[in-house]
Amino acid sequence: MKTLQDSFILKNGVKIPCVGFGTWQTPDGETAVMAVSEAIKTGYRHIDTAACYGNEVGVGQGIKASGIEREKLFVTSKVWNTERGYEKTIAAFEKTLSDLGLDYLDLYLIHWPASSSQYDNWEEINVETWRAMTELYKAGRIKAIGVSNFLPHHLEALMKTEVPPMVNQIEFHPGQMQTETIQYCRENDILVEAWSPLGTGRMLNNETLKSIVDKYEKSVAQLCIRWCLQNNILPLPKSVTPARIKENTAVFDFAITEKDMDTINAMAYCGGSGLHPDQVDF
Ligand code: A2P
């Protein structure tokens, strides 16, 4: 990867720009409009949102305000947990498109798996949600489909369906490796995307990262983003601050040494959100 516009290629051949612009916790309205249009002007070609972020209207307006041609942009959204199942997922997708002001999505994800802590028939619910995603995909309304926060045991049933997931977006940053899930995704040709690649900001004062970063003349944020890319994981850094939006793109003019990669990869658990897909109560 040499620029923001270089891509990973999904198993169906769809190209996905290698750094996405995250919008979790970006307020709707003028902040979302400003952040998204600023990101696109800075060179991001991949915007990640979700119905539950409550900012799809602002994100869509930001896309329009940037003036970019739709086909030059990769847009992801996600179906929220209250909308699981076939019919509700189809309706949620239509609402997302209408809120964004778009007529197709590049990528649509199931935001969280239904899990055994909440449902006896959790697997059946996930398969029903997936049936809707598959139908929308086959109808050409979405270019690629995937999941988010799925562990291997959640993925298994979907891997046996007609169109298995192409992407799994998980919490991933130094101190939060999710090794088993990543291994499973690699074996099944599922691209892993990193939400909170900076640990929602919690990793920026980490002493290990601070001790490594100086020789690169980069910030810890840039180190975290570059580290994702060198692990073949697609980072989705979020910012509403123009200088940081730009800073987070300057990750192609340095390479982390193998030794430093090993040190970061071996960091003990830290800075995580603590949200476990089988235990969350939302
Ligand atoms: P803000 O949006 O106010 O600029 P993550 O991508 O892991 O979710 O982290 C997002 C958090 O990190 C936000 O609080 C964001 O702040 C902050 N952030 C993003 N980029 C940088 C940066 N380059 N330097 C410092 N903080 C950053």
Q: Please work out whether the CB of residue 260 comes within 6 Å of at least one atom of ligand 1.
A: no
Q: For residue 106, what pLDDT is reported?
A: 99
The average pLDDT across 87-112 equals: 98
With a 6 A CB cut-off, is 200 part of the ligand 1 pocket?
Answer: yes
Confidence of residue 93 (pLDDT cuts 50, 70, 90): very high
pLDDT class for 13, splitting at 50, 70, 90?
Answer: very high
With beta carbons less than 8 A apart as the criterion, state whether 192 and 168 touch: yes
156-213 pLDDT per residue, tens: 999 999 999 999 999 999 999 999 999 999 999 999 999 999 999 999 999 999 999 9
Using a pLDDT cut of 70, give the percent of the chain over it: 100
Distance 125 CA to ligand 1 centre (A): 34
Q: Which residues pair with 168 in a beta bridge?
A: 147, 192
Write the residue with the smallest CA distance to atom 1 of ligand 1.
239
pLDDT band at residue 64, thresholds of 50, 70 and 90?
Answer: very high
Per-residue model confidence (pLDDT) at position 98: 98
Q: In what order do the strands lie in the sheet with 142-148?
A: 21-22, 46-48, 74-79, 105-110, 142-148, 167-171, 191-195, 234-235
Compute the distance from residue 79 Cα to the ligand 1 centre, in Å. 24
The whole-number pLDDT of residue 178 equals 95
Residue bearing the CA closest to ligand 1, atom 15: 239
pLDDT of residue 83: 98
pTM over 0.95? The answer is yes
What pLDDT shows up at residue 33? 98
Beta bridge partners, 17, equal: 7
Who contacts 220 (Cβ-Cβ below 8 Å, separation ≥6)? 198, 203, 204, 205, 206, 209, 210, 213
Atom 21 (ligand 1): residue with closest C-alpha?
A: 244
* Closest-lying ligand 1 atom to the alpha carbon of residue 173: 7
Q: What's the whole-number mean pLDDT along residues 125-137?
A: 98
Determine whether the shortest distance from the Cβ of 239 to ligand 1 is under 6 A.
Answer: yes
Alpha helices (runs of H) in 101-235, residue ranges in sequence order? 122-138, 152-159, 179-187, 207-213, 220-230
Tell me what pLDDT residue 87 has.
98
Give the number of the atom of ligand 1 that is nearest the alpha carbon of residue 238: 6
Q: From atom 12 of ligand 1, which residue's Cα is the shortest distance away?
A: 201
What is the structure's pLDDT at 172? 98
Query: Hey, which residues are catalytic here?
Result: 53
Could you tell me if the CB of 219 is within 6 A of ligand 1? yes
pLDDT of residue 133: 98
| pLDDT attached to residue 209 | 98
Q: Give the mutation target among 239, 249, 275 for probing the ligand 1 site: most ligand atoms within 8 A of CB.
A: 239
Which pLDDT value is given to residue 128?
Answer: 98
Q: Which two tokens stand for residue 212?
A: 């490594």
For ligand 1, whether the C-beta of 235 sits within 6 Å is no
